[in-house]
Amino acid sequence: MLLANLPALQVVIPLVSAPVCLLLRNPRHAWAWSTLVSWLVLAMALLLVQRVSVDGTISYAIGAWATPWGIEYRIDMAGALMILIIATIGAVVMPYAWRSIQHELHKKHTGLFYTCYLLCLTGLLGIVVTGDAFNLFVFLEISSLSSYVLISLGSTRRALTAAYQYLVMGTIGATFILIGIGLLYMMTGTLNMQDISQRLPEVADTRTIRVAFAFVTVGVSIKLALFPLHIWLPNAYTFAPSVVTAFIAATATKVGVYVLLRFFFTVFGIHFSFNSMHVGEILMLLAVAAILVASLVAIFQNNVKRMLAYSSVAQIGYIILGISLATSDGVTASMLHLFNHALIKCALFLAMGCIFLRLGSVELKDMNGLARQMPWTMAAFVAGGLSLVGLPLTAGFISKWYLVSAVLVDGYWPLAVLVLVSSLLALMYIWRVVEAAYFHVPGAAMHRVREAPASMLVPTWLLIGANLYVGINASLITTIARQGANALIGQATP
């Protein structure tokens, strides 16, 4: 009984738990409660992944209203992978949050933080689980609205403008998506994604559907920060509280990519998206621009969080590059990098959180000689950084290998060179931090800095460990990614 309702519980449990945090007056209780919920969510996610891998795609009718009239929750391997990412990151970040939030947030805001975090978790999970286009929009708004609040909780006043900027951009994106879904509804008379995709071919050759496609693509591209629609991202990541940055960087943009995949492959179908609308060429161009421009910009950043934010824009470029190929290999590489990049970036931002806790700054000039004072944190940063660069035995290497070979199979060897060259750019910006922390003469106040507490180091190192594990034994995750990619593509190809 409980097991059968797992798809619904996955979303409902964090949703109903969220208001509880607001009621718990003691911050410690609110933290304990949301940690517990996060772990429960992870346990359910693991069960779901296991069930999907055994039984195949799960379809669940909310309130037993049969599809296409009721809302359908539909989880295939691609969705299962996303649930795994979101739940894992949530479960790892929460134990870390206690000390970090205590330090960065005013006490009266902590309840609000945990509430919004759980709501954001709900929204992200809901987007992935649902098979209904309008329901997807609702969850997208839940996650977006809560993340505006989360970002505005940052310790400086600039967090407010960052959140406002994100709010404006995000709302434009959401509106575009809504318009697109509305047009689709107008033409097909249904909101169930499977149903839309079946009815779409009859009306595919109309201007309305093409406009709908354009609206959805642009709207989602804002959400996932595809270059040049990424301008909200660097500020949001820089000024948000450390925990929020780590959580959102690893999940929110990834879910955006998932929405894009869903619409391209499941709703519109690979043929319409890539052959009629030629979105592949456009995406490839934007991906290349994202990789090059954002990597170059990252090299010149002096705030390390902002540097990592630009690096995220570049990494999203990698993911989009894989999708733009529209092949099984390409989408597999993208799915794989969704997972691996979540591990990498979350670990790096958590390391930044440790530094911010002790140093009160993430400016490069303040980090001179930091490695002597915080050896474990900096070692984690170096390991995560090497994974970002993509050296062997790290997760980053696995996704890079897949991406380069997918690109090569299609004969785009200049792109393969580009991907590899840009990993050198990544090396350059990571190494600026390494040189500052390991070689520069420490400032006068540096001797007072201590190593971060274990409650923050352990989650950081857990993610680093996961990075190394995936680098050595990637068979599980590559299998899931491959199945996910095939689920996406296979559905679309008749």
Summarize as ranges the residues that interact with another protein (CB under 8 A). Answer: 386, 389-393, 398, 400-402, 404-405, 408-409, 416-417, 420-421, 423-424, 427, 431, 435, 439, 471-475, 478
Give the Cα separation of 418 and 287 in Å (integer): 11
Give the Cα separation of 266 and 215 in Å (integer): 17
Read off the amino acid at residue 374: M
Minimum CB separation of residue 344 from another protein in Å reads: 16
Minimum CB separation of residue 424 from another protein in Å reads: 5
Between residues 141 and 451, which has the closer beta carbon with respect to another protein? 451
- Cα 275 from chain centroid (whole Å): 28
Nearest to 77 by CA among 55, 98, 97, 92: 55
Between residues 6 and 321, which has the closer beta carbon with respect to another protein? 321
Structural Rg of the chain based on CA atoms: 21
Minimum CB separation of residue 437 from another protein in Å reads: 12
Between residues 253 and 332, which has the closer beta carbon with respect to another protein? 332
Minimum CB separation of residue 5 from another protein in Å reads: 36
Strands 58-61 and 72-75: antiparallel
Which residue, chain included where needed, has tokens 């990049």?
341
Minimum CB separation of residue 435 from another protein in Å reads: 6
Between residues 238 and 332, which has the closer beta carbon with respect to another protein? 332
Minimum CB separation of residue 153 from another protein in Å reads: 38
Nearest to 29 by CA among 141, 45, 37: 37
Minimum CB separation of residue 281 from another protein in Å reads: 23
Minimum CB separation of residue 374 from another protein in Å reads: 17
Q: How far is CA 179 from CA 11, 17, 19, in A?
A: 25, 32, 31
Between residues 202 and 435, which has the closer beta carbon with respect to another protein? 435
* Count of C-beta atoms within a 10 Å radius of residue 393: 14
Give the Cα separation of 169 and 139 in Å (integer): 17
Decide: 463 and 334 in contact? Cβ < 8 Å.
Answer: no
Between residues 444 and 475, which has the closer beta carbon with respect to another protein? 475
Residue 53, C-beta contacts closer than 8 angstroms, at least 6 positions apart? 77, 80, 480, 483
Nearest to 386 by CA among 421, 343, 344: 344
Residue 266 DSSP one-character state: I
Between residues 179 and 427, which has the closer beta carbon with respect to another protein? 427
Minimum CB separation of residue 455 from another protein in Å reads: 25
Give the Cα separation of 29 and 10 in Å (integer): 22
Between residues 205 and 435, which has the closer beta carbon with respect to another protein? 435
Q: What is residue 71's three-state secondary structure?
A: coil
Between residues 54 and 475, which has the closer beta carbon with respect to another protein? 475
